[in-house]
Amino acid sequence: MYKSSIRPLLFRFDPEWVHHFTFKTLKKFGKTAAFKSFVRKNFRVEDSRLEREVFGLKFKNPVGLAAGFDKDAKLFQELSDLGFGFIEIGTVTPKPQPGNEKKRLFRLKEDGAIINRMGFNNDGVEAAVERLKKNKNVLIGGNIGKNKITPNENAVDDYKICFEALYNYVNYFVVNVSSPNTPNLRELQDKEPLTNLLNTLQSLNAAKPKQKPILLKIAPDLTDAQLLDIIDIVKETKIAGVIATNTTIARDGLQSENKNEMGGLSGKPLKNRATEVIRFLSEKSNKAFPIIGVGGIHSAKDALEKLEAGASLVQLYTGFIYEGPELIKKINQAILAKNKS
């Protein structure tokens, strides 16, 4: 229904306008009994065999929504109702910021992809906290970043502010130093500044009565040597795990007219590289830490590939936009079918 009827209509309009329209529609109808009944019947798969315990948290199923979709924690309950096992909000920054100038979101229909250069547009961490206070039972990840105006030498302070503000309202944290859309942000992926940042957050974490898992989200554009550094950093800082991967700046083999737009590329063209990174980290670390696999998952087969490569959980973003909420159901059904065989 989504791919045949709804998507062709939505794809006639500007992607960012559609995003906001979808949010308003889900917000309006998402709490109605009719909507909840429709969703339960058509999208949700509830089965205890799908439950996963990863970094000390219990996930009702291993299919989550990646950061970037519900940046400001406006729709986490409605999105969870569609069948996601967990929702990652953000990236949030200490202060509100508008992000980059529009137009900044582009479909690459022929490639099953999206290019975005949003630039951490968000209402600020305090606004997200106010919305998360209403959360009752959704497992939430908090993806945190720095404001554009904050120089890299002061970036640690921005992450500390976000960590402290969100601590009571999220189940796990994600440190985002891998977005290509904030100037010089990826420099924080270098070994020394990254180790310092993660150690600082871990010190804050250790002082809390209960520690929250801290994950690192990495770029797919890292070399093997840089990925080996990531393994060392995880071991040294004792963070809980890694999310592999963020969007790519590579443009190999694209067909669409928007292929040369600046920004991060997500969707089908990222699938193989993201899986390669997951497999490399899993094998070279001897499965020393959990990995959340994300990048180019447009089918149940794609998700199973990520899990077989070493991911403990998976996340959707572009595939969710192209395939609709049926994709969540198909992945969970495929996992159950595989467990039977």
Residues annotated catalytic, as ranges: 179
**CB-CB contact of 201 with 193 (8 Å):** no
Strands 113-116 vs 264-267: parallel, antiparallel or unpaired: antiparallel
Strands 113-116 vs 105-108: parallel, antiparallel or unpaired: antiparallel
Taking the C-alpha atoms of residue 169 and residue 184, their distance in angstroms, rounded to an integer, is 29
Q: What is the DSSP letter of 266?
A: E
Alpha carbon separation from 9 to 15, 103, 299, 307 (Å, rounded): 12, 20, 22, 33
The helix/strand/coil state of 125 is helix
Instruction: Give the sign of the dihedral formed by CA 78, CA 46, CA 171, CA 146.
Output: negative
The H or E element containing residue 114 is: strand 113-116
**What letters, b where the CB count within 10 A reaches 16 and e where it falls short, cover 185-205?**
bbebbeeebbeebbebbbebb
